[in-house]
Amino acid sequence: QVPLVESGGGLVQAGGSLRLSCAAPGRTLRNYAMGWFRQAPGKEREFVAASSWSSGNTYYADSVKGRFTISRDNAGNTVYLQMSSLKPEDTAVYYCAARVGPSYLSALADEYDYWGRGTQVTVSS
């Protein structure tokens, strides 16, 4: 098991920024491909971004491309989602996910092995 813990959510005005963090206390995330997903009320969970720890490659949903950035710390303990130019439609619970195998990027939730409990992001208009 990989106990992922998200933090950094909150309430922000449209146009503002937030940075989400995801860590697995006491464990390295270097052996995993990492992803961020979100789920708005009444909607299905959707892919946001993914990062390969080994290659440094990243992958974004079209809806966030150019506004969100996925990154990681050099120690391999934390992955971030920097969100800028936020819109009301970005309001959702954001989940961090880990997939065994550090180089394969996936936008499919079913291909991830471990999930955090989520952090709420609310963007007011």
- DSSP state for residue 76 in the 8-state scheme: S
65 in Cβ contact with 58 (< 8 Å): no
- Helix or strand holding residue 74 (H, E): none
Residue 38 has a pLDDT of: 98
Residue 52 has a pLDDT of: 87
Average pLDDT of the residues in 119-124: 98
Residue 76 has a pLDDT of: 80
